[in-house]
Structure 1
Amino acid sequence: MIFDREKMLQLCNDWSKNTLMNTLEIVYTDAGEDFLTATMPVNPRVHQPMGLLHGGASVALAESVGSAASLMFVNPEKQEVRGIEISANHLKSKREGMVTATAKIIHKGASLHLWEIRIVDEEGKLISLCKLTNMVLSRRS
């Protein structure tokens, strides 16, 4: 199967309409055979009360990009992906601007995918480091 970057990005962005990803303004921006990248603006919509990027918003970004990335390795007509575990280490705070999350495959099994998601700022400084485990299920009728 030949990887189609544009088709993957279109699929992810289309599936985001009227979802949390749309609410958080997450946009899928780049893809390759073993990674997927998305951006999210940092503004009051994703702040915690102290005016900083909320850790939960970072985790939502990480799970969104990691779960969508698993779609590259399944047949969406026959299979579904579910995130079953996520961990996050928040290393740097951010008040405004843009963050970029890149999910890279660590393990690609028939029923489990393990992703490392790095969330960085505009200068490439690490904001959060996350790990996501996805389960691959047969699609129910």
Structure 2
Amino acid sequence: MPEASGDRVVVRWTVGPEHLQPVGLLHGGVHCAVVETAASVGAALWLGDRGSVVGVSNSTDFFRAAREGTALTATAAPLHRGRSQQVWAVEVVDEHGRRVARGQVRLQNLDGADRAG
């Protein structure tokens, strides 16, 4: 991750053969996983030692196909950071700056008493 803070997270990767669905396009589940990971990292860094976070909702839309070799960048930023929940938006663009996907993740802030143990 080239950048990770409680205010912004940037993830870069290149689509490989292991990321493809049978027709040769990037699988949407990869976008969903990257979107939730970027949002979760930012949310956890913002919450810090006050607790931990878990995703409760992930809505990701796909706008443009990506194929093997495409360089992608996901940028996550908070829309809301509250006492009990956070909402983060994540934009995924290709190497030409074209939007490939956009996701929104709602995360629950857990304090120490809420953590699984």
Shift of 1:33: 5.2
CA contact (8 A) 2:5 2:45 kept: no
Does the 8 A contact of 2:6 with 2:46 survive in 1? no
Q: Tell me which of 4, 13, 22 is aligned to 1:49.
A: 22
Alignment length, in residue pairs? Answer: 113
**1:95 matched to 2:67:** yes
One-letter code aligned to 1:91: F
Provide the aligned C-alpha RMSD in A: 1.4
Which letter does structure 2 place at the counterpart of 1:135?
Q
Counterpart in the other structure of 2:56: 84
Partner of 1:69: 42
Unaligned residue ranges in structure 1 (runs of 5+): 1-27
Residue type of the alignment partner of 2:82? G
Whole-Å Cα distance in 1 between the matches of residues 47 and 53 of structure 2? Answer: 8
How many percent identity over aligned positions?
Answer: 30
Q: How does 1:1-141 map to 2 (within 5 A)?
A: 28-32=1-5, 34-76=7-49, 78-96=50-68, 97-139=70-112, 140=115
SS in 2 for 1:120: strand
Q: Distance in 2 between matches of 1:111 and 1:46?
A: 34
**1:84 alignment partner, SS class:** strand
Take 1:88 and 1:64, find their aligned partners in 2: how far apart are those partners? 13
Stretches of 4+ moved more than 3 A in 1? none
